[in-house]
Structure formats: structure tokens, C-alpha cells
Amino acid sequence: MKKILIVTGPQGSGNHMWSKLFALSPRCFGWQALLDEYWIGHDQEPFAEYWQDPSKLKYFDWGQADYYVTSISIPYMNNGTATIPNFKGFVAELEQLGIEVQVAIIGRDPTVLRLQEERVRGKATVDQALDELGKLSGLLPNFLSYELLQLYRQEYLHQLNHILKWPIAYTDSRIEEIIKEDANAKYVKPIKHHWVDDLAKHTSRKWR
């Protein structure tokens, strides 16, 4: 059976990065053009026109692979207009075609995510995204963590390969280039002291 993985989450949570990682496997049809560019607008994502009109999915060439990945954020920009993806229509059309659907919800530190959205889009939309994602519970989604990827790197991708039962090229040499920049770093500032520091120092001493 043909399978498709819908990668989605709040805007700014890493759709482009995850699209690159999933496109590394030669067994998977994904956003291969993104591997040659740092960033491409979502209007050029391989399934962009089908998100606009899911009924066109019946004309898509499903003979290209057994595994497919599509990426879309909540909301996504449709000709400059913030738009909520038509998940219900998209999934219904795929199921009618006999395509097995899996959903992977991507996440990022919520404080950083709100700062990112405000910087790039002018306002935070994460709460709107969370509301929409709550409607996908029937699809039993998996969750992908940006922070766990940054910390555990290939080991985390190896684990996802088993959890998702999906072809992930977790040994590909291009992975380090894709994830080398910690996108959270620019929002994180060190602090000199926090009151919990004193507790930690005290409790770490040998009691007498």
C-alpha cells in the first residue's frame, strides 16, 4: 500500500528542516528540490496545489514511490493570506484513493516559537495551531521534537525510523549540514544567577 506522511505543526516550528531530512531517503518522494536550497517558499512544495484543491490528488502520479511526504504549517501563507490547511478534505481524498495516511506533528520550545512567529509574521499564531491540531487526534499523530533532534541528532532520527516505520536516511552525511545551526540559539540569552542555583549548590554538598 502507498503511504503518505503529513508533516505539520505551528508555523515556524521547522517544516523546511524536517522536509529536508525526510527527502534524504531515495525510497521517499518528498521535497527534493529543497536539498539544494536553504529555503524555498511553500508554494513550491510538491503537494502545494493539492492542499489548495484536494480533489486534484486523483491526478497525481502515485507510481513514483511507495512513500510520500508532504509538509504544511498551521497556518500557511496562501498568496500572502494566512490559511488553515484543509486536513479533512486532504485526508478524505487520500483515503478514497487507497493511500495510507500518517501524521507527524512537529514541535519547538513554545517561548521560542512565539518569538519566532512574532518576528516573522508579526503575531503569534501557535494557539490557533494548537486548536487545529487538537482536531487531528483521531489520526493518532506522532510528535517530532526540534530540541531532541538538536540534542541526540542521528540517534533521534534512528529512533524515529523505528517509531514511524518510515524510511529515514539517518546515516546520511548531509544531516549535519541540515541541522548544524541551532535556530533557537538566537533567542536564548544567558543569565548570571537564578535563586534555584543556590539550592542546587547546597543540596549537592555532602550532608553532615
Correct CATH for 3-183 of 3.40.50, 1.10.287, 2.60.40, 1.10.1740 = 3.40.50
Domain borders along the chain are: 3-183
The whole-model pTM stands at 0.92
Tell me the pLDDT band of 204, cut-offs 50, 70 and 90.
Answer: low
What residues pair up with 70 in beta bridges, in sequence order? 6
For the segment 53-109, what is each residue's pLDDT rounded down to a tens digit?
A: 999 999 999 999 999 999 999 999 888 888 999 999 999 999 999 999 999 999 999
| Under 8 Å between Cβ of 70 and 60 | no
Lay out the sheet containing 67-74: strands in order across: 28-29, 67-74, 3-10, 100-107, 142-145
Torsion angle in degrees (nearest 10) through CA of 131, 136, 142, 148: -10
Mean pLDDT of the chain: 93
Please state the length of the chain: 208
Residue 138: pLDDT band (50, 70, 90) is confident
